[in-house]
Structure 1
Amino acid sequence: MEPSSRLERFTDIIKSPTDHRDYAMVTLSNGLRCTLVHDPEAHQSTAALAVAAGHFQDPLENQGLAHFLEHMLFLGTEKYPEATAYQDFIHQHGGHHNAWTGTEYSSYYCSVDAPSFAEALDRFSRFFYQPTFNPEWIAKEVNAIESEFQLKRKDELRRLYQVHKVTANPAHPFSKFSVGNFNTLTNKGDTTGLDQHMRSYFSTWYRANRMTLVLAGPQSLDELETLAIACFQSIPGNGATVTPEQAPLYLPEQTGIQLHVRPLKDARRLILAFALPSIDKDYPYKTTSFIAHLLGYEGPGSLYAELHHANLINSLAAGGGISGSNFKDFNLNMQLTEYGLQHTDRIIAEVLAAIDRIKHEGLEDWRYKERQVAIANAFRFQEPARTADLAPQLAINMHHYQPHDLIFGDYRMDQLNVSKARELLDCMRADNLRATLIHRQVEVDQHEPIYGTDYQVRPFTEAQLEFWQSAEVSAIQLPGPNPYLHPLRPPQALSEPVSRDPRQHQLADGLTLWHLQDPDFRAPKAHIYCQFTLPNVTASATHYASARLWCELMIDRLNEDCYDAEIAGLHFNIYPQHYGITLHISGYSQGIVELSRDLLERLQTTRFSESRFADIKQKLYVNWQSALANKPLNLLFARLNVLLQPHMYALSDLAEALAQITRSGFDDWQQQLFAEVELKLFAHGDLTQETLRPLTECAQQTFSMQANLQANMPATRDLAELKSSGKLETRGQLLTRHTDHAAMLVIQGSDTSVLQQTCMLLLNQFIQPHLFNELRTRQQLGYLVGSTYMPIEQRPHLLMYVQSSNSKAPELCKAIEAFRKHFLQQFDERIHDELDQVKGHLIRKLREPDTNLRLRSQRLWSTISPTDVSFDRLEKMAQQLEVNTTSFFIKELAEILATTGHQGYITASPKEL
């Protein structure tokens, strides 16, 4: 019997015209709802399963149990009892896997090379009906949970989140500690009973009728349905019906309050959270999204603009906040200036007045229709996501949207729901507000014990309430008609012979245009990169600090004027790098050249107010000074770039330089910023060369350019020279303000040849799962263990790293070194078959076509940005893998691992106070 005749399929799923996939939904006899996705262009297949159970279902005596269960499911099933069997299989077949535990849902997903999908599903599906919960691993995974907890213990978002929990209704499951740790999962180290609690949780909540499954890949819908039946039919059904929570998120005394939270890092932030009812059923109207658009608008005269011009805030984001089956927090999140920190009541008065204005003047149909046009454009010309990324998202969507809205639900905007908008706006009042002020100097009187956060809770005073009622507020304007927003035309016809590589046009000395009118992604979208090679950016730490400040000031200055373009789908960014400064503009091709030309003209003419200069300089300085409290691994990656790339500077050096920069000195530097400039343009997408003419003419008229500035930049530093000079020893051992230790082994390729790059990439792909299994799973050295391949100016590097809360950096170095030596001993024909598999996967991966225009633009730009341009490098690497035998690579990889001259360790350790 054909699979399609066994189960009734639903195929009336709304999708974007740019989506080439086929979709169907089926429900298995056990109640498991499945979405099948046929993607003929995919090289890998993906499974994603979402279960309606998360930390809300944790028992009070075992908080974090759902998260612990997530870890344990990976460590063996009855058919495949070895703890690393699943992970080894996934990695050996070119895949990846992950999972997360949320409030009311948990998600599991994996991707593998398509021919291995059935075998992968045989392993993956058994998590959900045949886990062993091996007692041998229970204590080890408690340690892993503890390591994860310790890793994030100084994470500011988690600290704030936990304060949020302890100030919510204790009868609501949101108040439970979600991550879990040694104390919540054990009785002073005794794991007795944990096994039974876990099995009880699993058998109660992990039921087929509470699950959704997505199977996606190049297989036909019939094949995918057959796999769903064969692998997932055995999951028990008849679980409890999914029902909304009943207890309110907040008690009456928990709204109308001022919260003070003292962070570890310097911060000035005000979060205004209005408690709303659940918005799940409002998804066809997106009412909160519409209100967020009106409140978060940043154009002239807006709430943001008025607060910004009054030097009260640096940023404003509207509409975020936690949400669930019976609650939604509508947040306005603002970064304050020093002045704004002293005037939070005025800011709240302005916000409440803006909400009142929206209630009385903003609920107009034409405003909603503008949002409809913007969202319709986004859906109509949606850039295809990778199937591996799409599947987990669809598995969650199945829990929230009607079947036909599986994809479209995120974009659906039927009409302005005035009654719902008024209901929600009526909730956005002072007595329903939680105002959280985050700063190191706020008054506190309570201590949250899990993350150690100090905080205070106070009801709003009568004086505050009266002030917000009677305060004189700005004449805030609601958004006017958006001149950039209109239905988009189809892409332009191809004007040149079809090519997939950009063509170079030398327009003048020092001005190069690379152009590609994309033949594959036929949508009215484009990317324009403008790379300015500027010696006045890279000459010293002071110059580079000035450039970082200048970029922040430019974005700050231009955001308001360009906000309508941003809403209409045109975006820009300005950032410094070790050549100089890059301007990136992206979005719809209609208007992108005009916006790019306007931005180019402003680069040399824009000046900044004294107050914005002072405030953004202070913000940058605080960020750089507090960087030593960041995750040690992040610091090591940043430090490695500084060590290996000329004209890159440590954040501590930049902070010291920034402190010395005066306004007059900055103005003098700005006058000379473009005195020496070479400009490289890259235009890609729905753009003809003729369309670009106004931009290239503007560039020639605006800048006096010189040739070969980039060619004279120094090459990547040699690791052996850094070691012999002692710089690796002195500059590669960081003292941080984080409690964790970290170590990283850096292996530098001997040259920039394609063969050397291929060998290093292959070595990383091969060594990754072995490193993780040994140092993370078996030795439990730390939660963050891994390896990565990193080319710098085409010179390949392999990095192996560990971050640990319980082992010191020298011990981590010894562990990595012992692993390297032991692994090297295995390099003979015994590994032939495994390496051959990895090789085959890598060949397919190198030849994978670009998924969308954005990814292709990024890939091409990373090729064009350096001086050595080679568009076929990935294909040449694939050819190297094909023409050389596996035995040849065994010898080459062993030599790379054994040659210690181009290897070195960098470390991060807590600074002793």
Structure 2
Amino acid sequence: MEPSNSLNHFTDIIQSPTDHRSYAMVTLANGLRCTLVHDPKAELCTAALAVAAGHFQDPIDTQGLAHFLEHMLFLGTEKYPSATDYQNFIHQHGGHHNAWTGTEFSNYYFSCEHSAFDEALDRFARFFYQPTFNANWLAKEVHSIESEFQLKRKDELRRLYQVHKATANPAHPFAKFSVGNLSTLTQDGSTHGLAKHMRTFFDTWYRANRMTLVLAGSASLETLHSYAEQHFTAIAGGGPVVQAETQPLYLPEQLGIQLNVQPLKDARRLILAFALPGIDHDYPYKTTSFIAHVLGYEGPGSLFAELHRRNLINSLSAGGGISGSNFKDFNLNMQLTDEGLQDTDTVIEHVFAAIRQVQQQGLEDWRYQERQVAIANAFRFQEPARTADLAPQLAINMHHYQPRDLIFGDYRMERLNTDKAHELLNLMTPERVRVTHIHRQVAVNDYEPIYGTNYRVTALSDAQQQRWQTPAAGNMRLPKANPYLQPLQAPLPLLATASAIPEYHHVSQGCRLWLLQDPDFRAPKAHIYCQFTLPQATASARHYACARLWCELMIDRLNEALYDAEMAGLHFNVYPQHYGITLHLSGYSNGIAALACEILQHFLVTEFRQERWHDLHQKLQSNWQSALANKPLNLLFARLNVLLQPHMYALSDLAAAVAEVTPESFADWQNDLFQQAEVKLFAHGDLTWQRVSPLLQQLTSNFPLMANLQAGVPPTRDFAELKRSGRLLERGHIETRHHDHAALLVLQGASCDVMEQTVLLLLNQFIQPHLFSQLRTHEQLGYLVGSTYMPIEQRPHVLLYVQSNQYDAQHLSARIDVFMQGFTEQLLVLADEELEAIQRALIRQLREPDTNLRLRSQRLWSAISQEQVVFDRLEQMAQLLESHTTSFFAEKMLTKLSDQSRQGFITAKPKEL
């Protein structure tokens, strides 16, 4: 079908030089605005539709309706009435789907194989003009919403968010409860009238003129346009015009306040929120972003550095906070130390001093120009996102940016808008601030009933207001020019010997290098991974706890000194793993090796300040002790790693171990840390031997390296080594401080053989939709139901899991067992119907090319970090899938499912108090 207005495509969209895609925009007759993206390299086709309707549009007596509607749209249309048709079709054609509901927008998106895109669009588009709202699914899906709500009852962010809503203007739609639950969506449990409310909401707000659509894939722009007209012109237009909210977010008495909030977990946080007007129209200037950059600077002399030097805060971030069509909260979010907790007024005084300093001295063009250079570098050499990830983002961007700024809008910084900056800074005053204290011991006198959070609101005292109106400046100073920042040049010429496989170099005893000058992603960027195998870091829970503390202290120590490098696009991280400690650097290639040398020098000579040691030691101990309040499934995944991997330790063991560590014993441990060390190094991107040779010299000259330390690490544990009670693995049951139960069934491969990996990977793809359909959609056991493939040291595992607030772990395990029995009995029949398409889609996924340098670095490093380095494992798996029939794999999977000797449960339940 040839589009009727093919000559009216808008194509003047600003793109990065690294972006190989073609773009066009067109508006359909019903008012639906579409962006078309031709990507000849796309492995999947993608559609995303964003509608200007979210929980702000909820009726006051049916809060959560927008979120509930999002769920119901997936459960059948007139042409495809089956509740699982859409999900099954997408999965069988190698894709994925999702959706979210926000304050003022909702977003729906999917990806699938090229050959199925037309059919998938036929199913997807009907969500928006032909939903059935099947009455048989209303009650079930209400309980699904209730399960989702219960799942998040102890989520600290949601609890804080709901207190925020309870203390805002009740006439502003932000005050509504966004998620919904059984109480808000039903009348005493009855769904009578819900379908009518939902239909009215849908007919009012889900109109083409309030929607944006993105279609992306390898098809031509003209073909994508024809798909848009064919499938989406049936959506009704003529909806209400999108307008900004008119009610203020806060009433006058809700500003100039202190808000105390009691968390469930140990926390010491201080948030200063300044109420500003909406900033959508300021996107070409990014004024709030610029102010956040100057206030949030963490280099020498900064607000952060001064408060950190006084040991009042551990971290500071500036500029976050909720935003919408007529409001923006500008937040300064700080994690306090014990000392800071006792002296919050001084912390706040320094914040106001910094704000006044920025207003009086910081609004200078050269500072803004530095941000322009950094952002221009980021745009010019941006790493392309996968088209499947890009489409949902563009659908939202279409609601906020001019057409030419569809992509560039996130980067556009035209000039310093001084008038706007003064306007915003003039609003950042003590009488307009909302000060939030988050700590278990704060005084409270009120109760938020939805999430059960205790809080208190009081007006700031006259003494506080007066002190902060004329704050003492202290020793703070504004940032100097960034010595690391410069406009980037083109990458180094590609060497004639360049290939797609890292080149191995035996540098010296105990030092091995894999070097790859990337032939495809031609940008001045690089990644360096430096893995130290350190027996001193992994020998026991105490050793591992010390290693984690050392990494936290090292990052804390380096953060201020290297903040300018961070702002210029050079990033680093230091983290422990079950071999030892890894340093990862990423960013612009010019200077990355020198930065690595600088950091490694600190590894050997750094002494940590005693007050920082004590504070981070306490923080780490508290985090581990409170971990039992985390989601049960997260704890089960962590427990599985402890059971099966060497040198992994339970969080409770780490908490107990770190409690016994003293500054003196830590210093003794640190002195021995690098006495036995082996290094694996991976340098990838715009790098050559000449660029990395100073780093090699640093390693071989300053570290006492020795070979084959990693070879001594034992392999992954076999289930045969674990005692079992029935099907429950030894130490496979944990008691949590979370109210949900969870069960996880582990299927373990017999070896690290590539065939074994291929069979279990295919089994996971095959079983996923059936497990979800049975246990989540039909039985409604819980909101979190699924399966995943997880290789542990290349040993393949398939994990089937359910988390529930309604059923206990024993019941969940029993239902998984019943499902497994039924699936095993039907496997050969189901394989005849489905497996060929799944096998074909998996081959495509395994051969999907890397979309950017970061993803390629991660993939190659995951191979290098193993004891056995194999780069073509994914291709080997794809070849096995190509060379064997579906019946061959069906029989293999049947054997796996029938062998219960390599299966076992781990479970979690709430701890009895």
Structure-2-length-normalised TM-score? 0.99
Residue 806 of structure 2 corresponds to residue 809 of structure 1? no
Shift of 1:828: 1.7
SS at match of 1:3: coil
Number of the residue aligned with 2:843: 843
Number of the residue aligned with 2:343: 343
Number of the residue aligned with 2:525: 525
Number of the residue aligned with 1:609: 609
Shift of 1:475: 2.2
Structure 1, residues 223-276: CA drift from partner, whole Å, max 9, x if none? 000000000000000000000000000000000000000000000000000000
Residue 27 of structure 2 corresponds to residue 17 of structure 1? no
Number of the residue aligned with 1:753: 753
SS at match of 1:690: helix
Number of the residue aligned with 1:514: 514
> Does structure 1 retain, via aligned residues, the 8 Å contact 2:729–2:904?
no
Residue 894 of structure 2 corresponds to residue 894 of structure 1? yes
Number of the residue aligned with 1:422: 422
Shift of 1:723: 3.1
Residue 137 of structure 2 corresponds to residue 137 of structure 1? yes
Written as runs of structure 1 = structure 2, the 5 A alignment for 1:320-331 is 320-331=320-331
Structure 1, residues 847-868: CA drift from partner, whole Å, max 9, x if none? 0100000000000000000111
Written as runs of structure 1 = structure 2, the 5 A alignment for 1:366-445 is 366-445=366-445
SS at match of 1:861: helix
Number of the residue aligned with 1:106: 106
Cα distance in structure 2, aligned partners of 1:887 and 1:466: 79
Number of the residue aligned with 2:885: 885
SS at match of 1:400: coil
Number of the residue aligned with 2:644: 644
> Does structure 1 retain, via aligned residues, the 8 Å contact 2:831–2:887?
no
Shift of 1:494: 1.6
Number of the residue aligned with 1:596: 596
Shift of 1:8: 1.6
> Does structure 1 retain, via aligned residues, the 8 Å contact 2:111–2:388?
yes
Shift of 1:473: 3.7
Shift of 1:466: 1.9
> Does structure 1 retain, via aligned residues, the 8 Å contact 2:353–2:472?
no
Residue 671 of structure 2 corresponds to residue 671 of structure 1? yes
Number of the residue aligned with 2:876: 876
Number of the residue aligned with 1:493: 493
Cα distance in structure 1, aligned partners of 2:5 and 2:398: 23
After alignment, is 258-267 or 829-838 more displaced? Answer: 829-838
Number of the residue aligned with 2:265: 265
> Does structure 2 retain, via aligned residues, the 8 Å contact 1:318–1:333?
yes
> Does structure 1 retain, via aligned residues, the 8 Å contact 2:790–2:797?
yes
Shift of 1:654: 0.3
Number of the residue aligned with 1:463: 463
Written as runs of structure 1 = structure 2, the 5 A alignment for 1:147-162 is 147-162=147-162
Written as runs of structure 1 = structure 2, the 5 A alignment for 1:348-363 is 348-363=348-363
CA, structure 1 residues 816+724, in 2 after alignment: closer, same or farther (shift >3 Å)? closer
Number of the residue aligned with 1:732: 732
Task: Report the residue type matching 1:684 in the other structure.
Answer: H
Number of the residue aligned with 1:503: 503
Number of the residue aligned with 2:858: 858
Number of the residue aligned with 1:232: 232
Structure 1, residues 359-394: CA drift from partner, whole Å, max 9, x if none? 010000000000000000000000000000000000
Structure-1-length-normalised TM-score? 0.99
Cα distance in structure 2, aligned partners of 1:257 and 1:601: 47
> Does structure 2 retain, via aligned residues, the 8 Å contact 1:643–1:728?
no
> Does structure 2 retain, via aligned residues, the 8 Å contact 1:685–1:853?
yes
Residue 784 of structure 2 corresponds to residue 784 of structure 1? yes
Number of the residue aligned with 2:306: 306
CA, structure 1 residues 669+791, in 2 after alignment: closer, same or farther (shift >3 Å)? same
Provide the aligned C-alpha RMSD in A.
1.0
Shift of 1:833: 3.3
> Does structure 2 retain, via aligned residues, the 8 Å contact 1:7–1:26?
no
Structure 1, residues 161-187: CA drift from partner, whole Å, max 9, x if none? 000001000000000000000000001
Number of the residue aligned with 1:559: 559
Shift of 1:910: 0.1
Cα distance in structure 1, aligned partners of 2:540 and 2:523: 43
Structure 1, residues 135-188: CA drift from partner, whole Å, max 9, x if none? 000000000000000000100000000000010000000000000000000011
Cα distance in structure 2, aligned partners of 1:24 and 1:207: 22
Aligned length: 913
After alignment, is 489-498 or 277-286 more displaced? Answer: 489-498
After alignment, is 474-483 or 217-226 more displaced? Answer: 474-483
Structure 1 gap segments, 5+ residues each: none
Number of the residue aligned with 1:695: 695
**% same residue:** 68
Number of the residue aligned with 1:662: 662
Number of the residue aligned with 1:62: 62
Shift of 1:832: 1.6
Cα distance in structure 1, aligned partners of 2:60 and 2:830: 50
Cα distance in structure 1, aligned partners of 2:470 and 2:384: 51
Cα distance in structure 2, aligned partners of 1:705 and 1:205: 66
Shift of 1:6: 4.4
Shift of 1:336: 0.2
Task: Report the residue type matching 2:702 in the other structure.
Answer: T
Cα distance in structure 1, aligned partners of 2:97 and 2:164: 31
Task: Report the residue type matching 1:398 in the other structure.
Answer: M
Shift of 1:469: 3.3
Shift of 1:726: 9.8
Number of the residue aligned with 2:90: 90
Cα distance in structure 2, aligned partners of 1:494 and 1:200: 61
Structure 1, residues 432-451: CA drift from partner, whole Å, max 9, x if none? 10000000000000000000
CA, structure 1 residues 4+11, in 2 after alignment: closer, same or farther (shift >3 Å)? farther
CA, structure 1 residues 205+725, in 2 after alignment: closer, same or farther (shift >3 Å)? closer
SS at match of 1:265: coil
Number of the residue aligned with 1:630: 630
Shift of 1:719: 1.5
> Does structure 1 retain, via aligned residues, the 8 Å contact 2:763–2:893?
yes
Cα distance in structure 1, aligned partners of 2:329 and 2:155: 21
Shift of 1:2: 3.9
Residue 895 of structure 2 corresponds to residue 909 of structure 1? no
Task: Report the residue type matching 2:464 in the other structure.
Answer: Q
Structure 1, residues 420-479: CA drift from partner, whole Å, max 9, x if none? 000000011111100000000000000000000000000100111122235534221111
> Does structure 1 retain, via aligned residues, the 8 Å contact 2:77–2:131?
yes
Cα distance in structure 2, aligned partners of 1:338 and 1:169: 33
Cα distance in structure 2, aligned partners of 1:503 and 1:190: 66
Shift of 1:4: 6.7
Number of the residue aligned with 1:203: 203
> Does structure 1 retain, via aligned residues, the 8 Å contact 2:737–2:910?
yes
Task: Report the residue type matching 2:517 in the other structure.
Answer: Q
Cα distance in structure 1, aligned partners of 2:830 and 2:851: 37
Structure 1, residues 66-97: CA drift from partner, whole Å, max 9, x if none? 00000000000000000101101011111100
Cα distance in structure 1, aligned partners of 2:5 and 2:472: 69
CA, structure 1 residues 88+162, in 2 after alignment: closer, same or farther (shift >3 Å)? same
Cα distance in structure 1, aligned partners of 2:28 and 2:785: 38
Cα distance in structure 2, aligned partners of 1:463 and 1:828: 77
Shift of 1:729: 3.9
Cα distance in structure 2, aligned partners of 1:557 and 1:472: 27
Cα distance in structure 1, aligned partners of 2:50 and 2:509: 57
Shift of 1:727: 12
Task: Report the residue type matching 1:229 in the other structure.
Answer: E
Task: Report the residue type matching 2:24 in the other structure.
Answer: A
> Does structure 2 retain, via aligned residues, the 8 Å contact 1:723–1:904?
no
Structure 2 gap segments, 5+ residues each: none
Cα distance in structure 2, aligned partners of 1:7 and 1:98: 33
Residue 450 of structure 2 corresponds to residue 480 of structure 1? no
